[in-house]
Every structure is written in structure tokens, then in C-alpha cells.
Amino acid sequence: MKISLSWLKEHLEFDFSAEDLAGKLEALGFEVASIEKKGPQFKGVVSAQILQIEKHPNADRLSVCQVTDGSENFTIVCGAKNIAVGQKVPLAKVGADLPGGMRISRSKIRGVESSGMICSGKELGLGAENGGILVLDQELSLGKDMASALGERTEVLDVTVTPNRPDCLSHLGLARELSLSLGIALKDFKVPVLNVSDLVPFKISVESSDDCPVYVGRVFENLVVGPSPSWLIDRLASVGIKSINNVVDVANYILMDLGQPLHVFDADALEGREIFVRRARPGEFLTALDDKKYELNPEILVIADKKSPQAIAGVMGGLSSAVLSKTKRVFLESASFNAALIRRATQRLRLKSESSYRFERGTDPRLPEIASLKAADLILSLAGSAAKVSAAATEKDVKENSSIAVSASQINQILGAGFKTEEIGKVLSALVRPGGLFEVKGDSFFVTPPSYRLDIKERADLAEEVARVLGYEKIPVHRPRIAAVAAHKTARAALVEFLSERLKEAGFFEAYNYDFISLADFELSGAEVKEGALLTNPLSEDLTILRPTLLTGLLRNAQYNFNRGNSSFRLFEKGTGFYEGKENILLAGLATGKFPEIYWKQGRAVENDFYGVLGVLTESLSSFHADYLAVDPWNFAGHENRALFHPAKTIGIKVQNVPVGMLGALHPQMAPRWDILDEKKEVFIFELNLSLLEKISPAPFFLKPLSEFPSSWRDISIVVAEEIPYSEIREAIRSSNLAELKEAGLLDLFAGDKIQKGSKSLTLRLTFGRDDRTMTDKEVEASIAKILESLKKIGAVLRA
Amino acid sequence: MNSSDWEKELEKVAREIASENFSAALNAEDLESLRIRFLGRKAPLTELLKSIKDLSVEERRLLAPKAQQIKSRLESEIESRSVEIERLRFEADIKTHSLDLSLPPLFPLRGRFHPLTRMQNQMAHILGLMGFSWAEGPLIEDDEHNFTALNIPEHHSARDMQDTFYVTTHVTPTKVGVQNSELLDSGFRRNDEPEQLPFYIEGMRVLRTHTSPVQIRAMEEVMKKQKSPSSLRIICPGRVFRHEAVDATHSAVFHQVEGLYVDQNVTFADLKGTLEEFLKALFGPKIKVRFRPSYFPFTEPSAEVDLSCLFCSGTGMGPDGQPCGICKKTGFIEILGAGMVHPNVFKAVGYDPEIWSGFAFGIGVERIAMLKWQIKDIRNFYENDVRFLSQFEDAEMPLFA
């Protein structure tokens, strides 16, 4: 809300700067977004006329002018070219202050004394340099103070008023607030004595006092509606309101001055002499001042004549009853409406105004009568000498604020402070002025907040007032003594952190993506989602879907990075997947390129491949003893995003028979659709459902004893049909059931020229050992024989 | 050979040995040939020692030690030369097998946490040490938890403080086109309406606009489990959503760390003490903390907490003598919002506000991360450019200590 310093001074006497004022407001809880200077920023400049021009004796480019301000003549040295005898010009006299801190003093210029300066528009801060002095209107009288002729000089503060303080949405309101904290009394609030005519006011019919607790109406006749005087135009302009005409401007002036929204109707456009404050009827319409037609309904309060709605109560008037220059008769409304009702109307109609902004936050129910008086007084003074006004017709049913009992110790208890009883009493008694009640009974204060303080309802509110006025800095800093309860993370947070840590160790960078994705990306993911979630009011039409998978985001990140020349990276993200009517905690990853990206030493760069990423996952999930199954990977956790995964390079991950994730290469036909156009670029992706994993307890860990006896190893090379997967070979070895076999590692794998077609060769390193003694060579040989026997069952033979 | 001849012969051998320059042997081979020449089977000294048996016992007693002495001196001379040769060989060898130590190292493959995770973890760690446990809640919230129970009633203008995303749940997004047009037809919002007025849709769920609903959930859980109130110290780091246009300083998705402290006789002074302790741990012991009045519907009294500017040390002036651009000359930067839990919030969860009191606070993780690492554009956090992500080191020295 814009507050003009000079306007504020009509309510409060103070002499500190705009910056100091901003500081005081901030200490009270009102942030000041900006301070802007408005109007002429100079002093001591008057209108003058050039009587005579002579060339400067010692300088070709300068002139020596004789200038008069009507009462005195001055010799001025001037460098401008556009000067002429008879011109009226702004003269900065000795002692004048110009914008930018320049002060005019008597000075000798090349030997000629100059007692002032003829100013250009730029020198006065009134616009850009246009090559010479500012030439004034010939009609202007001499010796006039230019600053006041050009409008009011003020500074305007843009103050942020929080929603709990609608009473501060006016100059009076903020003056009241400052008066409370600074201990400066408000200037006497003059309620005008109105010269009321015998005009008969309109009858006011309020359907429900819940909807409209106060309604004050007045009728004016014989008005001359026309332009406002410049002081009013300037005042409104300084707080960002455009002048319309003298009557409408008065309504806006009172709004910004007192905080009471008013509305003026062209009374001749109203049918009959009765105003109805009622709910709209189904099917009623109103074309409002914004020239838009609104469909009304019974949830919306309207101001109607006997025929139809003429205004949306508290929000906006109707176009047909607008006050225009032809208007002669005016009906002035000053009222108080139910805040929630006005708010609902603004939402239903998607229509807001300065009035609705205040009504939906709450207005002072005692203000409409005063505001109506002040507005009427101002209208009469501006709208012609024949103007007449009626007495007020008033309907009201106002509930009084109830009193709050509080003791000084209760306030100190909330704040943890040691404020003295008198200090607290002083704040609370000032708080209720004007309009409220303050009593002391024994140890207790009884505080009845004034009608405009809608925010004060209980002790905590009074504690805040005391703290605000006395200063938050006066409350001590105290470290609480805490119970010795160990802090802990949730199981979910601990799991997420554990796995994130593992991935980070394996070179994954953590990514953060938005939770909403486009329909296009959603469809590209191929996810079939049951019971997903949508945004009803997305930021843009294409970001509608709450993501069921994190992979779409990571693929977009991959594309983003490829486009910026980053070609090798591992990314992961933790986040929420929305499907099956619930929020599923997911962990997804993407890996591509090689590490290090470039390196001088041959053979040190490692490609990101399927086995590398599988290794990371296996390592990360080792305590869960997960199974990695090439078969049937698709039934993963209720969302089947199979379309993203390579049909032959994808594996399912199960823990205790529960499918918890998938890992694979990006489907080759999908890559181009994600704008990954390099065919050689392999991208690996995985996703784990941690909501499932967190329900599975990892196996408890105990140390395996270390054998005291050396183990022995032998390498064996076997040949087996090419289609036999390694898992079968591993299983065949396992089925030989040898306790002595400690490890079987795959050392080499090849197919080709040296091997029979359709076969492959595997070299395995078998490690044997016993915990009770060293094995003999014979025993080792016997074990190998047993293993070879098992391998025979799948057609594997020792390579010749 | 008689003894005098023998002795002469020995002296000759001794002279020969003495005249030999063993240092001239530059390698093991040279040394070996010297050894063979002087100590080999056919060497004169060897021959002499063999023939000593031809001399008398007395002569032997006299001459044998002399010969032995010459021999052992020779042996030790060869031995020391051998050591010297080995040393030279090793030195030469080291030289030929040295590395170019200036070549680039091979860095281990190591990832990074996102800067927001790092910042969130730092905050959670400090608060964890102060006894705050983690709590969590859903991202899709109901009206009750996100607003009403937090003293933000329906049709109250306080709802305007947080522009809200509304969510339709339990829909099948493959039919999203249909679903959305159905919603639009029922009057929620039309495509041709560009303005984004805040509006409320009855019964509709929302993306949580703050982490504060977790306060409600935490107290509800206590009531559910224990049937009566008890004290609480919780934090909830998490994601929140605001329906606002994205630019360099606004993101529709961002993160907060929420804190809640509930006990009997908790005061505003405790709030000041706890937050000051927290901020000093986060930003260093030299910072100053300032509390200003503010408004949040769910706290009363409420405070905005400012920190002395980290960049101009609270002076308002930069090192170049120009006004500090970070704090805009004020010497303070806004860092978090806090306040005493509003009695209505306690009433909403069944805690008696006459007995229980507490404070709550919420910190914007993005804002702090941007301040701390001088990140100018909030969108950087969500682009995931690896050139950005790779800059956040794990072993970072505290910047403001």
C-alpha cells in the first residue's frame, strides 16, 4: 500500500525522514518495499521575467540578464541560448536548494556577480535536457513559489500490510500505528458538521445484518460533476490512483485517507428511492465498471434498486449507475460487509478492487458513519455551490468487541520477558485509544480492543502488541533446558540418505526436478498409471501431471546436458511418484558416457555400461540380498514404464520376492524421442521404489570369522553352448554343494575363432579353503572334479 | 719357496693390491673381474696362502696373520665398492624410471549431493544436535492440514499469502485430456483466462504450500498414540509448492526446513535463544540476529528473523566503499520466519493452550543456499547442469566461521 509522507502528516505530527519512518514501520512489522520521491524536489525557486539581456564582457557564450520576480531585480549570468527578453522563467534565488543537493549561492562568474540561476527543466528535476532553460507560461504571475505551483513535494512509501492488519490500509491507520509506538498523539480528528438539507434520503433495506452489519446512505442533488482540483489529483496520483472526476475522487480519497471504501451511484440511474442490500437471485447479471458482464448467484451480495442489482457489494459498482460528468444526483454508500462473503464473491467472479481488498480483510464497523460525513463535506465543497446533501439513512447491527482479561505476569510468561506491570499497562491503555476500553482490576488488565482492531482476540495477541511496541529486542535471549531425548530420523529418511550416500560414492550427481511433468513427457514414458494425480490449475497447460516416475525428469536433464556439451555423467534423484492413489518414494538414476571423460593414460577411462550400473545397485542394496532377474522384469511396483527400457537389456530387482525396481538400457527407439540423437550414445536408467523397500528389514549383519588357514585357487577354462546364461553356470557350480568352495570368479569370457561355433569359453577362478586346516592338493583336485561333474549337466566341458 | 721369498712375494702382492684403484670398477662385472684377479683360485694371494703349508710352523705363525690381514682388507675393500656400485646403480636406475610428476592425476569417480540437499542436511544436522527429530508428511495435503488447522480459515485473506496448486487425485492420466476438459467444463478454470487469481475449490486437495502441516500431523500422532499431549521437538525438511510464475528469484517448487518445539512454559525468549544458537552454528559465532514483528496465521506473536549481512559483516557497505548489494545497505538480511504457536493451532489438535506452549519456525533452503554460495538464479537448482552440480564440494570449510 502506498503512503504519502505529507498526507500522513495530516494525521500525525513528526519531523523525521522517509528513511527513518521506514525503519520505524519495519520495527512495527510493516515492511517497506520502496521509497519514492514525488513532486518538485527543489526549494526557493520562483517565477521571474527577463527584462534585459547583455553579452558577458569576458565570455562569448554567457549572457548577463536583468530579471525581476515582481518585487525585486536580480543580475543573473546565464549560459543558455534560448533566453529572450520578456520570457517568464524559473529563477533559483540565492539559498535555493536544487535536486541532487545543489545549493545556490552568490558567485562571481568571469568577473560578473550572479545572484541566482535561471533553471532548465533538468536542473529542476522535471525532465530531460532539452537544450535550454525552462520557459514558463506567460500567464503565470511573478514571484510565485515554483515548487507549490508544480504540485506537492512528498515521499511515497510502498508499505506491505499483512492480512491481519486491514486497519492499517490507510493513512489514518498507519498514523494510528505510529502514534501507538512513538507515543505521539494523533492530530485531532475533525468530524465535520454538515449543513444538511431537507432532501429525503433513500430508504435502506438490509436483508441480513450478518451480510451487512452497517449501511449508511446519503443523497446529493444539484451537483456539478467535473475535474478535481489539482491538490486532489496530485494526492491521488501520489498513491497511484488516477483521477476520474470530483465525486469519484472524493470516494477514493476517503478510501486512502481513512480506509473506508465508499461507492457513489448516479441516483438518476436508480429505480425508485429505496436501496436493497440482498443476495443476488439466480440468473441475475450485472455489467460492472470494468465493462464486463458478471453472472450472479445467491452466494453474492449485491446492492440493488427495486428492479435489479446496481453493484456487487464491496467489490465493484455497475456501469449503468456510474457517476459521470452529466450526473446531477448522487447516492453515496458507506458500509461494512461480511469479509468472508466479499472474499467468496471475488473468487467466484475473479474480480478484485481496492474496495474488495479491504472488505475481505475486514473493515471498522464504526467507520462508515464518519467516512460518509467526511465524504459528504468534501463533495459539497467541490461540486458546486448549489449542491445539497441529505441526512444519513443508517441501518446497523454492530457486535461490540469483548474484553480480554490479562495480567502482566501472563504476558511476561508468553514472552519470557520481565516487563514491568506499568510498562505493559501503558502499552495496553494506549492500544485501545481511540475507541476501545482499558480497565485495571487488581492484578488484571481488562482490554476491549477498539472496533478497528479486528485482529486482537486473545492474550497471545495482546502479548504480541506489548512486544511490538516495547521492541522485540527487549525480550531476553534464553536457551531452553531440554529433556535428554535422543533425536532420530525417520526410517524413510534414513533409507533415502543411506542409498543416496551409496550412489554419491559411486559417482552419481544428485538432480532436483519439478514434480509436475508435461502430458507429452508422460506419454513418452509409456507409464500406465492407476490412480495418479493432476494439477487442476497448472502453471502452464503442459505441466499438468504429478510425475509417476522420476525418469522423465532425468532424461530431460540428460538432454539438457548433452545440448551443453556435457556427455558423461551419472545422475540420481530421490522424490515422490504419484500413483496407486498414494505418494511413493522413488530413487532413480541415469548413467552415460565414460569416466574420466578424457584421460592421458591408456585404458583408464571406463565406459558406463550395464554391468557397471548393476554393480552400483548391487553394492548399494547388498544388505537387502536382492535378486536381479532377467526374466519378467515388467511387473514393477504398479507402474509399468516398460516403454523406456530396452527389451533385451533390462533386469528386474526383487527383494524377498517383492519387485522393487528395474535397471536397463534406454530403449533404442525411445532415445530419439527424448532428443538423444547420437545412436552410439548408450544411456542406462534405473528406478527403485523405496516405499516398498522400507517395509523390508535388511538382514542383520554379523562378522564372518576370518580363516586362519591359507586358501588355494585354481583357474579352469570351460566351453559351453553360447545361449547358456552365466546364471546357469553359477547355479551348476553352486549345486555341487561344496562347503570348501569359497568363491567362483569369472576371469575371462570369449567366443570366436578359437572356439567351436555356437560355443563360448569361460575361465573361472575357483577359490577353496577350510576353516579347520589347510587343504591338500589332492582335496582341491577332488573338489574341482566334482564341480566339473556338475557343469557337465549343462553341457560344459573343460577346454582342451 | 723359503720364507723370505714368500714374504717378498706377499709384499709384492700387497703392493699390487695397494696400487689398484677399486673406484675404477664402475659395475658389478668390473668388480668381479678384480675379485677374480686378486682373490680367485689362481690369484697370487690365493697361491701364496695355499703354499703357506710349505713353511715351518713358526714361519707360518709369523706370516699367516699378515697374509690374512691383506686378504680381509681386500675383501672388505671389494665389499664396500660393491655396496657403492649398487648404490650408484640404484641411483641411476631411479633416474631412468622416474615419473613426470606434473601429469594430471586420476581422480576417483565421486558424485555430489545437490546443493539443496547439502544445505538441508547442514540445517538438519545442527537441529539434530539440539534434539530435534525428523518428521514427515505428504506433498498432497488436505485443506484441514494445510490451512484450517493452522488457523487459516476458509474464506480468509490469509490464504492469499500462499498461492496454491489444487490437485485432482485418483485419476488415470492417460485420459488426461478428457479429465482436464471435464474439470474445465465444470468451471474450475478456462483456457482463455490468462489471469491467475487465487481461488479456492471446495473439497479439493492441494500441493502443500509450506511444511507447517507437518506440525499438525506430528501433534495429531502424539494424540493418537498416547491419547494425551506430550512435548515435541521436531523438524521437517521438505518440498513445498506455490502457484507463482518462475523467474530468477521465484520457483513454483522449493524447500523448507520446518521446526516445532512444544512443551510447557515455552517462551518467546526460548524461541530467540534456540534460533540464535542455530543460526550461529550455521553461519558462525560472529553473526548478529534480529527479531522483527511479522504475521503468520499459525503463530502469535510472530517474528521475521534477520541476520547481520554475511557479505558486509553488517556494516551496509561493501569493501569498495559502495553500498552493499546483498543487504541493500541495511546491514541485515531476512533469513526465516518464526513465532509462538497460535492457541488456535493447539486447539485444533487437542492440546490445551493454557497448559502447552511452543514455537515454530520455517527456513527457505533455496534462499539460504543462494546467499551462502552466491547463486543468482533459483532456476539453476532445477536445471541439473552437471557443470553446476559438480561445483558443490563435500569437504567444504565453513565459510563464515
| A459, A537, A560: residue with CB nearest B383 | A560
The nearest CA of chain A is from the CA of B379 a distance in Å of 10
Examine the pLDDT at B192 and tell me if it is beyond 50: no
Query: Predicted confidence band at B195 (pLDDT cuts at 50, 70, 90)?
Result: very low
In a domain, B337, yes or no: yes
Report CB contact under 8 Å: A557, B198.
no
- Cis link prior to B293 (omega < 30° from 0)? no
A404-471 has CATH 1.10.3720.10 classification:
no
pLDDT for the residue numbered B189: 37
Mean pLDDT of all residues belonging to chain A = 90
For A281, phi then psi, to 5°, come to -95, 150
Element (H, E) at A345: helix A339-349
> A648 in helix, strand or coil?
strand
**Domain A712-798 CATH (choose: 3.30.70.380, 3.30.450.40, 3.90.226.10, 2.40.70.10):** 3.30.70.380
Q: Quick check: A247 and A226 in contact, CB under 8 A?
A: no
Tens digit of pLDDT for each residue in B87-130?
999 998 988 888 888 998 888 888 999 999 999 999 999 999 99
pLDDT for the residue numbered B401: 39
Q: State the best of A165, A299, A359, A464 to mutate against chain B, taking most chain B CBs within 10 Å.
A: A464
A634-657 b/e with 16+ CB inside 10 Å = b?
eebbbbbbbebbbeebbbbbbbee
Where are the domain boundaries for CATH 3.50.40.10 in chain A? 203-396
| Side-chain-facing half-sphere of B369: CA atoms under 13 Å | 24
Q: How far apart are CA A140 and CA A767, in angstroms?
A: 110
Residues B374, B272 share a domain: yes
Q: What is the mean pLDDT of residues A721-738?
A: 90
Least confident of A322-336, B233-247, B384-398: B384-398
Residues B241, B316 share a domain: yes
Q: State the best of A472, A562, A571 to mutate against chain B, taking most chain B CBs within 10 Å.
A: A472
What is the domain count for chain B? 2
Domain limits at B232? 115-135+214-389
Q: Which residues contact B8 (CB under 8 A, 6 or more apart)?
A: none
Query: Predicted confidence band at B7 (pLDDT cuts at 50, 70, 90)?
Result: confident
Report CB contact under 8 Å: B110, A583.
no
Examine the pLDDT at B190 and tell me if it is beyond 90: no
CB-CB neighbours of A172 under 10 Å: 25
Report CB contact under 8 Å: A480, B303.
no
Contacts of A542 in chain B (CB under 8 A): none
Contacts of A581 in chain B (CB under 8 A): 169-170
Contacts of B191 in chain A (CB under 8 A): 541
Examine the pLDDT at A627 and tell me if it is beyond 60: yes
DSSP B354: T
B132 CB within 8 Å of a chain A CB? yes
> A33 in helix, strand or coil?
strand
Nearest-CA residue of chain B relative to A569? B386
Element (H, E) at B92: helix B57-96
**Domain A2-39+154-182 CATH (choose: 3.30.479.10, 3.40.50.300, 3.30.56.10, 3.40.50.150):** 3.30.56.10
Residues B220, B346 share a domain: yes
pLDDT for the residue numbered B188: 38
- The residue ranges of DSSP E strands in A545-596, in sequence order, are 545-546, 569-579, 582-592, 594-595
B90 CB within 8 Å of a chain A CB? no
Nearest-CA residue of chain A relative to B159? A163
Residues B119, B231 share a domain: yes
Can you name the CATH fold of A203-396? Phenylalanyl-tRNA Synthetase; Chain B, domain 3 (3.50.40)
Report CB contact under 8 Å: B243, A537.
yes
- Cis link prior to A700 (omega < 30° from 0)? no
Residues B125, B80 share a domain: no
A43-149 has CATH 2.40.50.140 classification:
yes
Tens digit of pLDDT for each residue in A363-403?
999 999 999 999 999 999 999 889 999 989 999 998 888 99
A337 versus A146: the higher-pLDDT residue is A337
Q: How far apart are CA A628 and CA A611, in angstroms?
A: 12
Q: How far apart are CA A704 and CA B379, in angstroms?
A: 49
| Side-chain-facing half-sphere of B266: CA atoms under 13 Å | 27
Residues B219, B76 share a domain: no
Contacts of B127 in chain A (CB under 8 A): 487
Query: Predicted confidence band at B191 (pLDDT cuts at 50, 70, 90)?
Result: very low
The ipTM, to two decimals, is: 0.86
Q: What is the mean pLDDT of residues A624-649?
A: 69
Q: Can you list the alpha helix ranges (DSSP code H) found in B350-394?
A: 365-373, 380-383, 386-389
Residues B366, B279 share a domain: yes
B201 CB within 8 Å of a chain A CB? yes
Tens digit of pLDDT for each residue in A7-29?
999 999 998 899 999 999 999 99
pLDDT for the residue numbered A640: 55
Mean pLDDT of all residues belonging to chain B = 86
The nearest CA of chain A is from the CA of B169 a distance in Å of 4
A320 CB within 8 Å of a chain B CB? no
Tens digit of pLDDT for each residue in A121-168?
788 877 666 668 888 888 888 888 887 777 777 899 999 999 999 999
Q: Which residues contact B67 (CB under 8 A, 6 or more apart)?
A: B10, B45, B48, B49, B52
A522 CB within 8 Å of a chain B CB? yes
B321 CB within 8 Å of a chain A CB? no
Q: How many residues does chain B have?
A: 401
Report CB contact under 8 Å: B207, A28.
no
In a domain, B143, yes or no: no
A491-693 has CATH 3.30.930.10 classification:
yes
Q: What is the mean pLDDT of residues A549-563?
A: 94
Name residues 221-250 of chain B within 8 A of A (Cβ): 231, 233, 239, 241, 243, 245-246
Report CB contact under 8 Å: A522, B173.
yes
Least confident of A194-198, A493-497, B317-321: B317-321
Q: What is the mean pLDDT of residues A525-546?
A: 83
Q: Which residues contact A427 (CB under 8 A, 6 or more apart)?
A: A180, A465, A466, A469, A470
CB-CB neighbours of B311 under 10 Å: 15
| A476, A536, A600: residue with CB nearest B269 | A476
Name residues 343-372 of chain A within 8 A of B (Cβ): 343-344, 346-347, 350, 352, 360-361
Angle in degrees, 0-180, between the axes of helices A610-620 and A491-505, rounded to the nearest 10:
140
> A534 in helix, strand or coil?
strand
Tens digit of pLDDT for each residue in B41-86?
888 888 888 888 888 888 888 888 888 888 898 899 899 999 999 9
Largest CA distance in chain A: 132
The amino acid sitting at B81 is R
The residue among A288, A291, A311, A287 whose CA lies nearest residue A300 is A311
A177-195 b/e with 16+ CB inside 10 Å = b?
bbbbbeeeebeeeeeeebe
Contacts of A538 in chain B (CB under 8 A): 165
Q: Quick check: A247 and A270 in contact, CB under 8 A?
A: no
pLDDT for the residue numbered B174: 52
pLDDT for the residue numbered A633: 46
Query: Predicted confidence band at B184 (pLDDT cuts at 50, 70, 90)?
Result: very low
In a domain, B255, yes or no: yes
Confirm whether pTM is higher than 0.80.
Answer: yes
B281 CB within 8 Å of a chain A CB? no
Where are the domain boundaries for CATH 3.30.70.380 in chain A? 712-798
Q: What is the end-to-end Cα distance of chain B in Å, rounded?
A: 93
Over pLDDT 90: what percentage of chain A?
61
Size of the A and B interface in Cβ pairs below 8 Å = 292
In a domain, B110, yes or no: no
Q: What share of chain A is helix, strand, coil (3-state, %, to 5)?
A: 25, 30, 45
